[in-house]
Chains A and B, each alone.
Chain A
Amino acid sequence: MESPQGLNAARESATLLGGEANALAQTVLSVVFEAAPRSAPLLRDRILALTAAEEATTPRYARLAAAAPSLHFMSITLVEDALYDPVFVVELNFDGPPGPFFAELEAALGEALRDMLRCAKPPPAAGALFAAVTAPGSRVPVAPLLEASAVRPAVFHQGNRGLDRRRIEAEGALFAAARVLADAPALRAMTILAIHEHLRATLAPDFPWLNARAPARIGAAESLGDRIRLLAFALAAVIALAAPAAFFAVIPRVSLTGAPPLVWPTLVVGAMALSVTVGLLWLRALEKAEPTQDEPSLDPALQAAMARGEDRTVQNHMISIVHIKPGVLRAVLVRAGLWGLGLLLRANGSARAGYLAGMRTIHFAHWALIGAGGRLMFHSNYDSSWESYLDDFIEKAHAGLTLAWTNGVGFPRTRLLVGEGASRGRLFKAWARRSMTRSQFWFTAYKAWTVNQIERQARLADGLRRASLTPSQADAWVLDL
């Protein structure tokens, strides 16, 4: 992105960067098909052929980066499963609503995706469309089929929420330019405020958008919606927990009309406590009885293939699919747990700023239930090595990790949903590795930048957009140079 082309693109988009009240929100989804078993090897070859073709451009993936300007991260993977036919997954993380993006994707990769879809089974809900799209010589657009087969995640998380790709690239180009200017020895004799003024004056001609205010990263309506949804979930949880006990135990014995006003809250809390107690006893009994897989067998060839693909840049990709434990309680817990966690991550202040338990290492990650709710799929586009990424969570956020995955078959033994589990780091890592496969196609729009670096670029740009800074703002701003 520090190339002249990137800089030119950043300059051209200058008018747009300040022209909108709100930034574009990002959309996260996966398109999921079952692969036709006989054609699975061919499908894998076609995915790998696409990887080879896009890597052959200069620089690598430049064609796709230009053809799909809304795309942040994308993966295409064929996932084998011992108990089911293979799953064919296209993971998409992009700016704005799906409609315009799918049109962009159609233009960029439509024919390659059509060839891959020919190796999939027709989805029951869109059989006619599938047949039309995959017919020999078909010119029927692929995008409607992809959109019809898209799975919205139960939980997703973003490191740089509200920064669209165009803005990330423009601020990255600004950062690179500012950084070189800041190397000049003459700056060492200046005050920080003078340095700010000097850099702003020098850079403004090349980056005219510095004269416009930055769009709000998360719009007021979106924020309000996040809060309302979380509140509604909490209310629904209260009703759901209170209802069974109220129905069976409390209501028949109480005269509803004559009760004093304080009785109602007491009844609700009492009924909830009863439900929670019964639920926890049930859960604990399950947790003691459910089998675990302490030493999953790892296929050396697959591990080697993953090692070959990992750590090629500062970011990595992970895809994992696990089976959900049987039973009603697990079915309820996985849905309620993921739903609640998902809403919390949208509304919680530090999660909105990209942090999970004090760490900001995830660009885009999501969990989604697939296969009629029987399997849990996880995608993550993260910074640093896999070991580092998981160790961070094992060490600082194992409760959340355990909550998200405790309903998976073979997961290390857990105590009351969040205890133990992922804190048993080696067991957890072996379990997670076993659920993973090699990411056969993976695209990242800005491979050299971590989440923290993108925020650093945004802070530096924010300071340069301001005509003047207070001394304390300036002290903080200069640290990002």
Chain B
Amino acid sequence: MGAGPVTGATVSSTPGWGLAPKVAGRTQGLVVSPFAHLEAAEAIFLRIAAGSGGAWLAALRARVPITDATGPSAPCAAIAFAWTGLAAMGLDADALATFPPPFSEGMHQKDRRRRLTDDGAGTIDGGAIWGGTAAGPAIDGPDDTGAPAPVPPVVVHAVLLIYAHDDAALDARCAEAVDAIAPLGVTIARRLRLSLRLDANGISREHFGFADGVSQPLPFGPEIRRSDGAAAPRDPWHAVPPGEILLGHLNAHGEPAPGPLVAAPPGVALPLPTKGAPEGFADLGLDGSYLVVRELRQDVARFWGAMDAAALAAADPAVDAEWLAAKVVGRTRNGVPLAPARVAAPLAGAPANAFGYFERDPHGFGCPVGSHIRRANPRDGAAVSGAATSGVLAAANNHRILRRGRKFGPDLADPRADDGAERGLLFMCLNTDLVRQFEFVQQNWLLNPTFATLLDETDPLLGPPGRFTVPGAPVRRRVEADTSVMFAGGEYFFLPSLPALDYLETLR
């Protein structure tokens, strides 16, 4: 469930993974599954009136239960809260202060936006339209030009994800949710209908046409189970400790991933665990996670237009738009990673994912060093010698994220002719250390202008317009890449455990 491409088959096929029964009963199902057996989905972004407390959450869960991680079920739901949402529900200031700075400051904090390149060319015209921050706190102040830091107009406090077999079931479920919360101070700030649209081979493709979500981290440890119930082995390429995805569990830095705490006065029974928490506190974070959500608009016609123009400029019969697009992504449309001709073609079946770059493609003659998949996870590619590969791979795996995104909007009939409809990817990923995992990938790999041996270029799929180096013989070519993926809004959310949801219900 946690691995492989987002296909219908992966729900039950190896190498899926799950959680030991005790942990599974406390954990939201989204952690172990993208719910790929449910085609229809919707993201409902909520705005919570200040002082609403947790009554609305109780009312919601009574009619739309939040799915746990014990096994397949339908329909399914998941919920996660922005820092401002928890504040609006009345979580006290001392508890709010136990969250880490990226979560409390939010994705739209000025310096964070600069570091994540969420300003400028990579953002939709007029700037991002939604986020969790209402007014800029003192920390934001005016920007370098003296102007006040821009704030997204639509304020989002929580995200409710609902999954069902078909549109009719989804509509009914969403209506139940809205009916339950509307009288209790919670309004709908934004809705996005999501889809997988698996093709004949069971592969979900993003709007440019490429298989998505192929490579995922594989947790291992005593609390992780294979789908047949056996203990999960340590994967040689994609292993991560469970605490990279679940708060309170052992993480890559050899400690329980730190999560938020709440005060637990003596004599008061809270639905939260206190074991392992400092005296006087209960553990709000255990078995929870952080959910990064980013609405990324895709301009399909612009992407293929840029590929056509670059192919024309190359003036080489061996170079066409399709070839260039695969170089940009690093995989073929079916998800097969590019490799030099001397590497044997993959066998039939799911795209190969057990490979490194150092041995088979050190200079990127197959899969360019600056391609999207190589930037998103460089594996052992940064090693300076064969002896260094295992250390470099292990280091790269300290920056993995578990992706849970789905696309939105209709397919574009003619990929060269824009129809004006909004479409894209609702990027979602789980991690426990927002700085070391999500932000690291975004800043130091994807959008780093000096990634690996490159200079003055960023991810050709996600970055601003610029050059993209395609290694080859006798000499590399540099092609012009355009911006066809644009940030439209996003936020960091806390995905609580089920006991933590029970606690949040008690807020007044």
User: CB within 8 Å of B: which residues of A?
Assistant: 182-183, 185, 187-188, 190-192, 195, 300, 303-304, 307-308, 310-311, 314, 355, 358, 383-385, 387-388, 391-392, 394-396, 423-427, 448-450, 452-453, 456, 478-481
Contacts and interface: CB of A to CB of B under 8 A. Distances in A.
Given A384-B444, A392-B395, A456 B316 contact: no
Given A300-B139, A314-B450, A358 B444 contact: no
Contacts of A479: 363, 471
17 contacts: A183-B477, A185-B316, A188-B474, A300-B139, A307-B111, A308-B111, A387-B436, A388-B444, A391-B395, A391-B399, A395-B394, A396-B392, A425-B254, A426-B433, A449-B455, A453-B455, A481-B475
Contacts of A310: 111
B94 to A, nearest CB: 14
A310 B383 CA distance: 27
B211 to A, nearest CB: 29
B255 A452 contact: no
B395 A396 contact: yes
Contacts of B478: 183
Interface in B417-454: 433, 435-436, 439-440, 443-444, 448-450, 453
Contact of B315 (A185, A358, A426): A185
Nearest to A426: B253
Contacts of B254: 423-425
A391 B316 contact: no
A145 B297 CA distance: 60
Chain A, interface SS category:
helix
Contacts of B114: 311
Nearest to A303: B101
B363 A358 contact: no
Nearest to B396: A395
3 residue pairs, one from A and one from B, having the closest CB atoms: A425-B253, A395-B395, A388-B444
A206 B445 CA distance: 36
A391 B251 CA distance: 14
Contacts of A383: 450
Given A387-B436, A396-B391, A450-B450, A195 B475 contact: yes
Contacts, number: 100
B475 A192 contact: yes
B318 to A, nearest CB: 10
Nearest to B435: A387
A125 B444 CA distance: 46
B474 A187 contact: yes
Given A358-B385, A385-B444, A425-B253, A478 B475 contact: yes
Contact of B398 (A182, A391, A456, A480): A391
Contacts of B476: 182, 481
Nearest to A312: B114
A314 B363 contact: no
A191 B474 CA distance: 6
Nearest to A308: B111
Interface in B326-375: 363
Contacts of A300: 139
Contacts of B315: 185
Contacts of A355: 384
Interface string B466-480: 000001001111100
Given A387-B440, A396-B391, A396-B395, A190 B474 contact: yes
Contacts of B388: 358
B258 interface: yes
Interface in B274-290: none
A195 B111 CA distance: 44
B384 to A, nearest CB: 5
Nearest to A389: B444
A271 B384 CA distance: 41
Contacts of B448: 314, 384
Given A195-B475, A391-B398, 4 more contacts: A188-B316, A311-B115, A453-B450, A456-B453
A394 B440 CA distance: 14
B369 to A, nearest CB: 10
A38 B218 CA distance: 57
Contact of B255 (A307, A426, A453): A426
B135 interface: no
A358 B391 contact: yes
Contacts of B436: 387, 391, 425
A286 B416 CA distance: 70
B115, B316, B433, B476: most-surrounded residue (chain A CB, <10 A) = B476
A311 B116 CA distance: 10
Contact of A452 (B112, B363, B453): B453
Contact of A192 (B316, B363, B474): B474
A197 to B, nearest CB: 13
Contacts of A314: 448-450
B392 A358 contact: yes
Contact of A387 (B252, B383, B444): B444
